[in-house]
C-alpha cells in the first residue's frame, strides 16, 4: 500500500479551519474583556437623579386642608404614633398619595357628611363599641361610608355584641383561640392568586410561621371572604369551606361595605397590600402608583482577602478564592438567570482588618468583571471585625478600591441602623457618591420601607425579606408588597457562608433554601422590573415625589401626573373591564383585570373595554 | 344568531343527506342503478337510516358507543365495502397517484406540475359528479324546478320558526333531549324502553359531528320536514302514471291554505312521530313494487324481476321496521295501508307465490323493529311510560275525547303526583321515568293545557284543536239500543265523520270538503276497477288500495267509536296522517283520470300535457279559493323559551370551559346544557331564599353562575289575567308557588317566580357589584353572571325583601 502525503491544498484547508476554530473560541473572550469597563459603575450616569427630600409628597392631615383638597382621603380612628396600625396606614397614604384624617376617637370625626372619605379605617383599640359608637358607625354606614376594621376587639366582646356582629357580618362566634393548621388566601385579593399556607409534608413544617391560633368566626350571608384559616386534618371533612375561621372578609350593606381584618396584619408592611386590595374591592376599579422594582441585595459577598483559611479548609476543603469563584458564584449566576434578578453585591474587601491577609486585586478584578458582564452592581458593606472602627475600615477600603478601581463610584452602602448617623456626618471620600443606605431592619416592624435620612437627600431603604429561607409569612408579606407597590427588597446575607462556624452554614446546605425562597418571592419577576439598588433608588425617588390625579369618563380614564420625571408606574385593577388601549404609556397585564402601566408622558389616557 | 341558525340548519341538512343518501348512494349505486331515481332515493334513505339506527343501538347495547366506535363502525364497513367493489379501479388510480407523488418527491416533477395534476384529478371527479347529477336533472328540468320551489316553500313555511324563535317549540323536546343525553352514557333506554330510531340518529350526529343535541333538536326540523315531504312526493310520483299529477296533491298540502293549520303544526318540531313518517310511504311503495316485480317474475320466469321482487320485499321490511323503531303511530298508519293493500291486491295477495314472501317480509320487518326493544325488555328495562299511555288509548282505556276533556284535571293531578320530585317537572310519565336527572331536576316539558304529557307530545295550542269529539259513544249506544237499520247506521257514521273532520282537518268548516274526499275515493275506486278491466292491473290495484286506505283511515281513526272499535289515536294526531295521505288521494284521482288517455290512446305526451294542465288548474283554483299558507311561527303565548335565553346558552357554552358554570333557570336548559355545565332550578333556588332568616346557606359550587330571568315572563302555554306583564314588586311580593313540577313556571306563577328572581338578582348585585354583573340583556330577558371563588363560595341566600 503506498502512502500518500497530505497535499498542500488539504494542509492549507485544515490550517484555515483550525485558525477559524481558534478565533471563534478566543475572539468572544477577547472582545468581552476589552469592552468590559468593570472599573466604572454604569449606574452612576444612568440612574442619576436630582429628586430628593424636598420633592417628596407629603400627606395632608389638617381637617380643613383635607376637606378642601381634591385628593382622595381616608379617615383613621387610632394613633399614627403608636408604631403599629397608624404608622402603616400613614405610610400607605404617602405611597397612594391620599390625604389622611386621624382621630383618636370616632366621636371626634364629625365632618363625615361634608365630604365622603374613601373609607374609615378603625383600630379597635381606640373603640369601645358601646351603643354610641355603634350608632355612629351605623350612621356612617348609612351615609355610604365604608368601614375597615383593621383590628378586631376581643372575642368575648364580639360574641356578646349582636349589633357589632351584624355590622361585621359574623353569624356565629364559634370559639376563641381556635387551633388551625394554616391559612388560605383566596384569588382576586392580593396579586399572586390563590395560596394555601399549609404544611403538606413534614419537610415543609419549617415554612409555617403564620399565627395558628385565632378566634373562629362563621360569617353571615352577604359576606365575601378573602382569607380564611384551614382547620386541622381531623376536622377538615366535617366543616364546610364557608364555615372555616374567617380572617379577612367584607360585609356588604345597603350603601357601603364593612371590611374586617381579623388578625395582626397591620403591624408590618403586610398591611399595605391589604389596604390597596380593600380599596380595589370598594369600587369597580382602582388605580394607584407603584415603584415597580425588585432588588436583591447580597451582603458580604464576595470577599477578596484569603481569610479564615482554617475554617475554609475544614468546611469546604478549599481556600476563600475557590469557594467564592467555584462554589458560590456558579449558583448565584444561575439563580440570577432563573429569577431574572439583578443583584447588588454589598462588598467588604475583607472581614478581618487586623490580620495579615489583605484583599487580592486579582480577585476583585475577577468579580468586578463578572458584575459588569451580568449588569450587577457593587456597593459597600460596613461589616468588619470588632477591633476595627468603621472609620478605619472605610479608610482602608478606600485605599484598596482607589488603588485598583479608582473610577468606580459606589452609590450604595449596607449599614446597620446605628451607623447611619456616622455615615451622614463622615467626611470619607469613599462615601461621597453614596446616595442609598440599605439597612438591616427588623422584618416585622412598622418602620418605613424607605425614607430620606433626616433632611438629607440620602435614601434609606430597608432590606425587608431574607432569602436565607422560605417562610409563609414572608411570602404573604411579599404578595402584599407586590400588590401595593410592585416592590421587593430581598436580602441574602452570606457572611456566615463565607465564614462558616458550623456545617449547616455551608453553601451547599443553604443554597436549596435560598433558591426556594428566591424563586417564591420573585415569582412575579415576569411582570415587574428587576433592578439593582441604584435603579431601585431612582424609582423610589420618583415614586415619592410624583403626584397624580385621574378621572374616569365612560370607558376612558385620564391620568394626570404631577412632578413627572421620565416615567411613572401605576397599578390598575378592574373587576369587570380590561384595558383596550393606552395613550401616553405602555401597559403589561399582570393578572386578569390587573395591569402595570408605565406612563411615558405627564398625561395618560387609558381606554377600557368590558370583559365578556 | 339568525345567521348562525341558518348556517347550523344548513350544516345539519348536509350532514344528514351525506349520511343517509350520500354514503349509501356511493356504496350501492351499482346495485340499484337501473331503478328509477325516486326509488333510489327511497332505497338510500332506508338503508342509511336503518344502518345508523341499528348500529347505534347495538353499540349502545354493548356499552361501547362513543365517537371512535361510531366512526369506526361507519368508516370501516363503508370503506371496506367500497374498496371491495372498486379495488381494481382504485388500484390503478392509487398506482397513478403514487407514481405522480414519487416523481414529485424525487424532483422529476415540479410543484406546479404536481399541483396541476392534483387539480386535474379533482376537476375530473367534480365533472363526473356534476355530469351525473346533470344527467338526472336535465331530463326532467321542469319537475326538478318544481321540486326545488316546493323545498324552498317548505323551508320558509316550517323552518322560519326555528330560525327566529330559538327555543324548543314543543314542550316535550327536553325529555327527548334527556334521553339522547343519556345515550352519551350508553344508556339508550334511560327512561324505559321507547322507540329509539330518531334518538339514534340525533345521537349519532351529535357524537360524530360534535353538534350539541339542543341545536339538533332546534334546527333538525328543517331537514326532517324536507325529507318527510320528499318521501310523500316520491311516493306519489312513483305510483302516478303522469308526470305532473303529483304536484296537485303536493300543492294543496304544502302551499295552499287548504288544511287546518293544526294538521301541520307539529312539523315545526323535530319529534320522532314526524320523523318516522318518512318511512311509511316507502314501505308501501316497495310492497306495490313487490307485486309488480313478482308478477313479472312469475309471468316471465325472469331472474332479474325475481331479484327485484326480493329486493322490494326486503326494503319494505326495512322501512316497516323503521316505523316501529321510530314511532308506533307510524307503524299503525303503515299497517292500515297494508290492510288496504289486502283489499286492493286481493286478487294476488292470497296466492302463495305472493303471500309467502310478503308475509315473510312483514314478519321480518316486525322482527327487525321489535327485536331491539324486546331485547331491552327481556334485559329488565321497563317500558317507557308513554307506551303504556299509547296502549291505553288503543285498548280504549282512555279515548282521545276523554283525554281532551280531562286534560286540565290530569295535568294538575300529574303535577301533584310529581310532588317531592324536583327533577324534570311536567312531563308526567316521561319525566317520572327520567326523574333522576339530577337533584335540581329539569324544566322538562309543559304538558300544556289540552295536551297530555308523556309521549303525548304537545300537538297544537290552537283552541279549535282542543274541542272534544262529539258524543259518538252516546249516539251509537242509542242507535244500538233502538236497533236502527244498517243504512241509518252508515248515515250516522257519515255525519259523525263529517262533523269530526271538517273543522279539525280543513281550514274552513265546510261539508263540501268531506264530500270531496269521498268523491275522490269513489272516483279512484271506480277508476281502479276500470283500469283492471283495461288490464292495467298493477295501477288499478294501487288505485283501489289508496282509496281503500283513505276509507280505512277515515273510518278506522275517526269513526272507530261509531263502529264500536277502540280509537287508535286522538284527532290531533290522526289528522296529521290524514292530511299527509290525502295528497296521495287527490293526486292519484287526477292521475287516474288522465291515465285513461295513456291507456286508451297510448299517448304519454298527451297524458303529461293534460296532467300538467289539470294540476295547474287545481293549483290555481286552490290559490284563488284558499290563498297561500303563511309560515308557521309560534306566538309568544306558545313559546317556551325566550330567544335571549338560548342566545345566552350558546355564548356560555362557547366561552366557558365545560363544567365551570351553572345556569339557574326555569326553562329547558337542564337538558340543553348536556355535559357542558350544570343546572339549578329557579324554584328550588327561591325556596331556599325563604330560609334567609334561619341563616340557611345556599351555595352553587361552580366558578360561574348564570341567572336566567324573564323580565316579561312567558305564559308557558297558559294564558292568565296578567299575561304580558313585566316583573314587578307587587308580583314579587306574592307568595311563592307551592306546587311542584312545571306548575310553578306556568301562567301567573311564572310571573311571581321571575319577579322574585329579578329582585333577588338586583339585591345581590347591589351587595356584590364586582362579582355579579349583567351578562346579557334585552327587552324581555336578562342574564346575570356571578363569578365566585370556588374555594369560598358565596352564600346565595340573602334578604332581598321578598323572601317570603
Structure confidence at residue A284 (pLDDT): 87
pLDDT tens track for A323-355: 888 889 999 999 998 888 899 999 988 888 887
Selecting from B769, B789, B797 the residue whose C-beta is nearest the C-beta of A187 gives B789
Name the band, by pLDDT with cuts 50, 70 and 90, for residue B299: confident
Residues of A in contact with B768 (CB under 8 A): 224, 252
Contact A224 B771 (CB under 8 A): yes
Please check whether residue A349 is in contact with residue A364, taking contact to mean a CB–CB distance below 8 angstroms. Answer: yes
Structure confidence at residue B232 (pLDDT): 93
| Per-residue cell: A139 | 350612621
Rounded distance between C-alpha atoms, residue A576 and residue B499, angstroms: 64
Structure confidence at residue B406 (pLDDT): 37
Please check whether residue B265 is in contact with residue B459, taking contact to mean a CB–CB distance below 8 angstroms. Answer: yes
What's the whole-number average pLDDT of chain B? 80
A490: three-class secondary structure by DSSP: strand
Contact A281 B770 (CB under 8 A): yes
pLDDT tens track for A115-134: 889 999 999 888 888 888 89
> Higher pLDDT residue, B615 or A39?
B615
B725: three-class secondary structure by DSSP: coil
Q: What is the mean pLDDT of residues B172-178?
A: 84
Please check whether residue B203 is in contact with residue B396, taking contact to mean a CB–CB distance below 8 angstroms. Answer: no
Contact B768 A252 (CB under 8 A): yes
Which phi and psi angles does B586 have, rounded to 5°?
-65, -45
What one-character DSSP code corresponds to residue A429?
Answer: G
Looking at chain A, which residue has its C-alpha nearest residue B770?
Answer: A575
Structural Rg of chain B based on CA atoms: 29
Contact B655 A612 (CB under 8 A): yes
B654 in contact with A at a CB cutoff of 8 Å?
Answer: no
Contact A223 B773 (CB under 8 A): no
In this predicted complex, what is the ipTM?
0.76
Looking up cell 370583559 gives A611
Residues of A in contact with B798 (CB under 8 A): 221-222
Lowest-confidence pick of B563-577, B639-653, B721-735: B563-577
Nearest residue to B606 via CA among B211, B241, B358, B338: B241
pLDDT tens track for B512-535: 787 888 888 899 899 888 888 888
B655 in contact with A at a CB cutoff of 8 Å?
Answer: yes
Cis status, amide bond into B788, omega within 30 of 0: no
Choose from A384-388, A553-557, B106-110 the range with maximum mean pLDDT: A553-557
Structure confidence at residue A65 (pLDDT): 87
What one-character DSSP code corresponds to residue B742?
Answer: T
Residues in A 265-304 with any Cβ partner in B closer than 8 A: 281, 284
Lowest-confidence pick of A244-248, B323-327, B670-674, B762-766: B670-674
Residues A260-274: b if buried by 16+ CB within 10 A, e if exposed = bbbbebbbbbbbbbb
pLDDT tens track for B355-386: 888 888 888 888 888 888 888 888 777 777 66
Give me the DSSP letters along B157-199: HHHHHHHH--S-SSTTHHHHHHHHHHHTTT-TTTTSB---HHH
Name the band, by pLDDT with cuts 50, 70 and 90, for residue B473: very low
Å from B271 to nearest chain A CA?
Answer: 35
Which phi and psi angles does A302 have, rounded to 5°?
-85, 165
Selecting from A171, A186, A284 the residue whose C-beta is nearest the C-beta of B792 gives A186
Looking up cell 476583585 gives A364
Å from A276 to nearest chain B CA?
Answer: 16
Lowest-confidence pick of A164-173, A422-431, B391-400, B664-673: B391-400
Name the band, by pLDDT with cuts 50, 70 and 90, for residue A611: confident
Å from A70 to nearest chain B CA?
Answer: 26
A160 in contact with B at a CB cutoff of 8 Å?
Answer: no
Residues of A in contact with B655 (CB under 8 A): 612
Give the helix ranges, DSSP H, for A69-130.
Answer: 85-96
Nearest residue to B196 via CA among B772, B239, B204: B204
> Higher pLDDT residue, B602 or A483?
A483
Rounded distance between C-alpha atoms, residue B774 and residue B177, angstroms: 29
Structure confidence at residue B460 (pLDDT): 36
Contact A186 B797 (CB under 8 A): no
Rounded distance between C-alpha atoms, residue A409 and residue B303, angstroms: 110
pLDDT tens track for A467-517: 888 999 999 999 999 999 999 989 998 888 888 888 888 888 888 889 999
Residues of A in contact with B766 (CB under 8 A): 252, 254
> Is residue B540 pLDDT above 50, yes or no?
yes
Name the band, by pLDDT with cuts 50, 70 and 90, for residue B724: confident
> Is residue A40 pLDDT above 60, yes or no?
yes
Å from A91 to nearest chain B CA?
Answer: 27
Contact A221 B766 (CB under 8 A): no
Please check whether residue B745 is in contact with residue B444, taking contact to mean a CB–CB distance below 8 angstroms. Answer: no
Contact B771 A252 (CB under 8 A): no
Please check whether residue B55 is in contact with residue B74, taking contact to mean a CB–CB distance below 8 angstroms. Answer: yes
B485 in contact with A at a CB cutoff of 8 Å?
Answer: no
Rounded distance between C-alpha atoms, residue B194 and residue B387, angstroms: 7
Structure confidence at residue B445 (pLDDT): 35
Å from B734 to nearest chain A CA?
Answer: 23
Q: What is the mean pLDDT of residues B54-64?
A: 89
Å from B167 to nearest chain A CA?
Answer: 23
Residues of B in contact with A241 (CB under 8 A): 791-793
Selecting from B767, B770, B793 the residue whose C-beta is nearest the C-beta of A242 gives B793
Host H or E run for residue A346: strand A343-347
pLDDT tens track for A512-567: 889 999 998 988 778 899 999 999 999 999 999 999 999 999 889 999 998 888 89
Please check whether residue A543 is in contact with residue A95, taking contact to mean a CB–CB distance below 8 angstroms. Answer: yes
Rounded distance between C-alpha atoms, residue B376 and residue B382, angstroms: 8
The pairs formed by B106-111 with CB atoms below 8 angstroms and a separation of 24 or more are none
Structure confidence at residue B300 (pLDDT): 79
B798 in contact with A at a CB cutoff of 8 Å?
Answer: yes
Residues of B in contact with A252 (CB under 8 A): 766-768
Structure confidence at residue A2 (pLDDT): 53
Å from B795 to nearest chain A CA?
Answer: 5
Selecting from A194, A240, A576 the residue whose C-beta is nearest the C-beta of B770 gives A576
Nearest residue to A276 via CA among A514, A16, A91, A26: A91
Q: Is the dihedral of CA B425, B427, B432, B435 positive or negative?
A: negative
Contact A186 B795 (CB under 8 A): no
Residues of A in contact with B692 (CB under 8 A): 221
Structure confidence at residue B693 (pLDDT): 63
> Is residue B347 pLDDT above 70, yes or no?
yes
Å from B692 to nearest chain A CA?
Answer: 8
> Higher pLDDT residue, B34 or B560?
B34
A225 in contact with B at a CB cutoff of 8 Å?
Answer: yes
Å from B745 to nearest chain A CA?
Answer: 27
Residues A290-320: b if buried by 16+ CB within 10 A, e if exposed = bbbbbbbbbbbbbbbbbbbeeebeebbeeeb
> Higher pLDDT residue, B447 or A447?
A447
Contact A575 B770 (CB under 8 A): yes
Residues of A in contact with B702 (CB under 8 A): none
Lowest-confidence pick of A108-112, A233-237, B438-442: B438-442
Name the band, by pLDDT with cuts 50, 70 and 90, for residue B167: confident
What's the whole-number average pLDDT of chain A? 87
Rounded distance between C-alpha atoms, residue A337 and residue B435, angstroms: 60
Between helix B213-239 and helix B197-209 the angle, nearest 10°, is: 120
Residues of A in contact with B795 (CB under 8 A): 220-223, 242
Q: What is the mean pLDDT of residues B178-190?
A: 85
> Is residue B451 pLDDT above 80, yes or no?
no
pTM: 0.75
A612 in contact with B at a CB cutoff of 8 Å?
Answer: yes
pLDDT tens track for B401-413: 334 433 333 333 3
Residues in A 549-608 with any Cβ partner in B closer than 8 A: 575-576
Best interface-test mutation with A: which of B792, B798, B799 has the largest number of A CBs within 10 A? B792
A348 in contact with B at a CB cutoff of 8 Å?
Answer: no
Residues in B 759-788 with any Cβ partner in A closer than 8 A: 766-771, 773
Q: What is the mean pLDDT of residues A30-44?
A: 79
| Per-residue cell: B165 | 324563535
Rounded distance between C-alpha atoms, residue B183 and residue B48, angstroms: 20
pLDDT tens track for B9-53: 999 999 999 999 989 988 888 888 888 888 999 999 999 999 999
Amino acid at each position: 500500500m503506498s502512502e500518500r502525503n497530505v497535499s498542500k491544498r488539504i494542509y492549507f484547508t485544515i490550517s484555515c479551519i483550525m485558525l477559524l476554530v481558534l478565533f471563534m473560541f478566543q475572539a468572544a473572550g477577547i472582545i468581552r474583556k476589552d469592552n468590559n469597563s468593570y472599573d466604572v459603575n454604569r449606574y452612576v450616569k444612568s440612574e442619576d437623579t436630582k429628586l430628593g427630600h424636598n420633592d417628596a409628597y407629603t400627606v395632608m392631615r389638617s381637617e380643613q386642608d383635607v376637606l378642601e383638597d381634591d385628593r382622595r382621603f381616608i379617615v383613621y380612628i387610632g394613633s399614627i404614633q403608636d408604631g403599629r396600625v397608624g404608622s402603616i396606614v400613614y405610610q400607605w397614604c404617602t405611597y397612594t398619595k391620599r390625604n389622611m384624617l386621624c382621630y383618636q376617637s370616632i366621636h371626634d370625626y364629625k365632618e363625615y357628611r361634608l365630604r365622603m372619605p374613601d373609607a374609615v379605617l378603625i383600630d379597635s383599640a381606640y373603640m369601645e363599641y358601646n351603643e354610641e359608637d355603634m350608632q355612629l358607625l351605623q350612621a356612617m354606614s348609612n351615609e355610604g361610608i365604608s368601614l375597615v376594621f383593621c383590628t378586631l376587639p376581643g372575642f368575648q366582646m364580639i360574641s356578646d355584641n349582636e349589633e357589632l356582629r351584624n355590622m361585621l357580618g359574623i353569624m356565629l362566634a364559634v370559639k376563641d383561640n381556635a387551633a388551625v393548621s394554616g391559612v388560605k388566601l383566596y384569588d382576586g385579593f392580593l396579586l399572586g392568586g390563590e395560596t394555601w399556607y399549609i404544611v403538606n409534608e413534614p419537610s415543609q413544617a419549617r415554612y409555617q410561621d403564620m399565627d395558628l391560633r385565632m378566634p373562629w368566626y362563621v360569617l353571615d350571608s352577604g359576606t365575601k371572604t378573602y382569607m380564611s384559616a384551614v382547620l386541622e386534618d381531623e376536622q377538615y371533612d366535617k366543616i364546610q369551606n364557608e364555615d372555616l375561621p374567617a380572617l379577612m372578609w367584607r360585609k356588604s350593606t345597603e350603601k357601603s361595605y364593612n371590611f374586617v381584618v381579623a388578625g395582626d396584619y397591620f403591624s408590618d408592611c403586610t398591611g399595605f397590600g391589604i389596604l390597596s386590595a380593600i380599596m380595589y374591592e370598594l369600587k369597580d376599579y382602582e388605580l394607584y402608583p407603584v415603584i415597580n422594582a425588585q432588588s436583591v441585595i447580597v451582603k458580604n459577598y464576595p470577599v477578596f482577602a484569603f481569610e479564615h483559611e482554617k475554617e475554609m479548609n475544614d468546611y469546604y476543603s478549599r481556600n476563600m478564592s475557590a469557594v467564592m469563584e467555584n462554589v458560590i458564584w456558579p449558583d448565584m449566576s444561575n439563580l440570577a438567570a432563573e429569577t431574572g434578578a439583578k443583584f447588588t453585591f454589598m462588598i467588604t474587601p475583607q472581614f478581618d482588618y487586623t490580620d495579615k491577609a489583605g484583599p487580592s486585586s486579582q480577585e476583585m478584578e475577577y468579580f468586578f468583571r463578572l458584575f459588569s458582564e451580568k449588569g450587577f452592581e457593587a456597593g459597600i458593606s460596613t461589616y468588619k471585625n470588632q477591633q476595627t472602627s468603621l472609620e478605619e475600615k472605610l479608610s482602608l477600603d478606600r485605599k484598596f478600591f482607589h488603588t485598583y478601581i479608582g473610577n468606580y463610584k459606589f452609590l450604595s452602602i449596607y449599614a446597620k441602623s446605628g451607623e447611619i448617623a456616622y455615615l451622614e456626618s463622615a467626611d470619607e471620600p469613599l462615601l461621597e457618591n453614596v446616595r442609598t443606605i440599605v439597612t438591616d431592619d427588623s422584618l416585622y416592624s412598622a418602620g418605613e420601607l424607605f425614607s430620606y435620612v433626616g433632611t438629607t437627600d440620602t435614601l434609606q431603604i430597608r432590606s425587608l425579606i431574607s432569602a436565607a429561607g422560605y417562610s409563609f409569612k414572608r411570602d404573604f408579606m411579599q404578595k402584599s408588597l407586590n400588590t401595593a407597590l410592585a416592590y421587593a427588597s430581598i436580602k441574602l446575607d452570606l457572611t456566615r457562608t463565607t465564614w462558616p462556624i458550623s456545617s449547616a452554614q455551608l453553601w451547599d446546605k443553604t443554597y436549596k433554601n435560598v433558591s426556594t425562597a428566591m424563586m417564591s418571592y420573585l415569582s412575579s419577576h415576569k411582570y415587574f422590573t428587576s433592578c439593582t439598588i441604584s435603579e431601585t433608588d431612582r424609582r423610589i425617588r420618583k415614586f415619592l415625589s410624583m403626584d397624580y390625579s385621574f378621572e374616569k369618563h365612560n370607558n376612558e380614564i385620564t391620568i394626570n401626573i404631577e412632578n413627572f420625571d421620565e416615567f411613572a408606574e401605576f397599578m390598575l385593577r378592574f373587576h369587570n373591564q380590561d384595558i383596550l388601549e393606552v395613550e401616553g404609556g405602555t401597559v403589561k397585564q399582570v393578572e386578569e383585570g390587573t395591569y402595570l402601566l408605565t406612563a411615558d408622558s405627564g398625561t395618560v389616557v387609558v381606554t377600557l373595554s368590558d370583559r365578556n | 344568531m339568525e345567521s348562525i341558525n341558518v348556517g347550523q340548519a344548513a350544516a345539519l341538512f348536509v350532514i344528514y343527506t351525506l349520511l343517509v343518501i350520500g354514503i349509501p348512494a356511493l356504496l350501492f349505486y351499482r346495485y340499484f342503478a337501473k331503478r328509477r331515481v325516486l326509488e333510489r332515493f327511497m332505497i338510500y334513505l332506508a338503508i342509511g337510516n336503518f344502518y345508523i339506527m341499528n348500529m347505534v343501538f347495538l353499540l349502545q347495547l354493548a356499552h361501547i358507543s362513543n365517537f371512535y366506535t361510531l366512526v369506526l363502525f361507519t368508516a370501516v364497513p363503508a370503506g371496506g365495502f367500497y374498496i371491495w367493489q372498486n379495488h381494481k379501479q382504485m388500484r390503478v388510480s392509487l398506482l397513478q397517484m403514487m407514481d405522480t407523488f414519487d416523481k414529485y418527491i424525487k424532483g422529476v416533477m415540479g410543484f406546479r406540475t404536481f399541483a396541476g395534476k392534483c387539480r386535474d384529478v379533482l376537476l375530473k371527479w367534480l365533472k363526473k359528479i356534476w355530469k351525473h347529477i346533470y344527467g338526472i336533472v336535465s331530463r326532467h328540468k321542469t319537475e326538478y324546478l318544481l321540486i326545488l320551489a316546493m323545498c324552498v316553500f317548505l323551508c320558509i313555511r316550517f323552518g322560519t320558526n326555528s330560525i327566529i324563535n330559538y327555543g324548543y317549540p314543543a314542550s316535550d323536546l327536553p325529555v327527548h333531549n334527556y334521553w339522547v343525553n343519556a345515550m352519551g352514557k350508553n344508556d339508550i333506554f334511560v327512561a324505559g324502553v321507547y322507540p329509539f330510531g330518531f334518538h339514534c340518529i340525533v345521537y349519532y350526529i351529535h357524537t360524530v359531528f360534535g353538534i350539541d343535541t339542543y341545536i339538533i333538536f332546534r334546527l333538525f326540523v328543517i331537514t326532517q320536514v324536507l325529507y318527510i315531504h320528499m318521501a310523500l312526493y316520491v311516493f306519489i310520483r312513483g305510483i302516478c302514471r303522469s308526470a305532473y299529477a303529483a304536484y296537485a296533491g303536493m300543492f294543496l298540502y304544502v302551499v295552499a291554505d287548504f288544511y287546518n293549520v293544526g294538521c301541520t303544526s307539529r312539523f315545526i318540531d323535530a319529534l320522532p312521530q314526524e320523523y318516522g313518517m318518512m318511512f311509511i310511504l316507502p314501505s308501501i311503495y316497495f310492497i306495490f313494487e313487490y307485486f309488480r316485480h313478482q308478477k313479472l317474475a312469475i309471468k316471465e320466469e325472469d331472474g332479474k324481476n325475481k331479484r327485484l321482487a326480493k329486493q322490494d320485499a326486503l326494503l319494505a321490511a326495512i322501512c316497516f321496521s323503521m316505523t316501529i323503531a321510530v314511532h308506533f303511530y307510524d307503524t299503525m298508519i303503515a299497517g292500515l295501508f297494508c290492510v288496504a293493500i289486502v283489499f286492493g291486491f286481493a286478487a294476488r295477495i292470497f296466492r302463495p307465490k305472493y303471500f309467502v314472501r310478503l308475509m315473510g317480509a312483514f314478519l321480518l320487518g316486525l322482527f327487525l323493529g321489535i327485536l331491539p326493544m324486546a331485547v331491552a325488555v327481556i334485559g329488565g328495562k321497563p317500558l317507557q311510560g308513554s307506551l303504556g299511555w299509547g296502549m291505553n288509548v288503543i285498548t280504549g282505556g282512555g279515548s282521545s275525547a276523554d283525554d281532551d276533556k280531562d286534560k286540565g284535571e290530569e295535568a294538575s293531578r300529574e303535577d301533584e303526583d310529581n310532588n317531592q320530585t324536583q327533577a324534570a317537572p311536567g312531563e308526567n310519565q316521561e319525566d317520572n321515568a327520567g326523574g333522576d336527572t339530577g337533584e335540581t331536576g329539569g324544566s322538562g316539558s309543559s304538558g300544556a293545557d289540552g295536551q297530555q304529557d308523556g309521549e303525548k307530545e304537545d300537538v297544537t295550542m290552537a283552541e279549535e284543536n282542543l274541542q272534544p269529539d262529539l258524543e259518538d259513544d252516546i249516539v251509537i249506544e242509542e242507535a244500538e239500543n233502538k236497533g236502527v237499520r244498517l243504512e241509518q247506521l252508515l248515515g250516522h257514521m257519515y255525519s259523525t265523520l263529517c262533523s269530526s273532520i271538517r273543522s279539525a282537518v280543513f281550514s274552513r268548516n265546510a261539508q263540501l270538503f268531506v264530500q270531496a274526499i269521498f268523491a275522490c275515493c269513489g272516483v279512484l275506486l271506480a277508476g281502479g276497477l276500470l283500469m283492471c278491466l283495461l288490464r292495467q292491473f298493477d295501477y288499478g290495484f294501487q288505485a283501489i288500495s289508496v282509496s281503500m286506505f283513505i276509507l280505512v283511515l277515515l273510518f278506522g281513526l275517526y269513526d272507530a267509536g261509531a263502529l264500536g272499535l277502540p280509537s287508535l289515536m286522538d284527532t290531533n294526531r290522526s289528522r296529521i296522517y290524514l292530511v299527509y295521505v290525502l295528497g296521495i288521494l287527490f293526486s292519484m284521482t287526477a292521475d287516474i283520470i288522465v291515465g285513461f288517455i295513456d291507456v286508451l290512446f297510448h299517448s304519454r305526451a298527451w297524458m303529461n300535457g293534460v296532467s300538467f294542465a289539470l294540476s295547474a288548474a287545481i293549483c290555481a283554483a286552490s290559490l284563488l279559493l284558499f290563498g297561500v299558507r303563511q309560515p308557521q311561527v309560534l306566538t309568544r303565548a306558545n313559546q317556551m323559551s325566550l330567544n335571549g335565553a338560548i342566545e345566552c346558552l350558546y355564548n356560555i357554552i362557547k366561552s366557558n370551559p365545560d363544567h365551570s358554570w351553572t345556569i339557574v333557570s326555569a326553562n329547558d336548559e337542564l337538558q340543553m346544557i348536556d355535559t357542558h355545565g350544570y343546572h339549578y332550578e329557579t324554584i328550588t333556588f327561591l325556596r331556599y331564599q325563604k330560609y334567609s332568616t334561619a341563616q340557611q346557606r345556599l351555595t352553587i359550587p361552580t366558578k360561574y353562575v348564570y341567572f336566567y330571568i324573564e323580565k316579561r315572563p312567558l305564559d308557558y302555554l297558559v294564558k292568565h289575567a296578567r299575561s304580558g306583564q313585566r316583573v314587578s314588586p307587587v308580583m314579587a311580593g306574592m307568595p311563592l308557588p307551592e306546587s311542584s313540577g312545571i306548575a310553578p313556571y306556568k301562567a301567573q306563577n311564572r310571573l311571581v317566580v321571575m319577579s322574585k328572581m329579578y329582585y333577588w338578582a338586583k339585591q345581590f348585585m347591589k351587595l356584590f357589584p364586582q362579582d355579579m354583573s349583567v351578562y346579557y340583556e334585552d327587552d324581555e330577558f336578562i342574564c346575570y353572571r356571578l363569578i365566585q371563588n370556588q374555594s369560598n363560595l358565596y352564600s346565595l341566600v340573602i334578604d332581598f325583601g321578598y323572601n317570603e
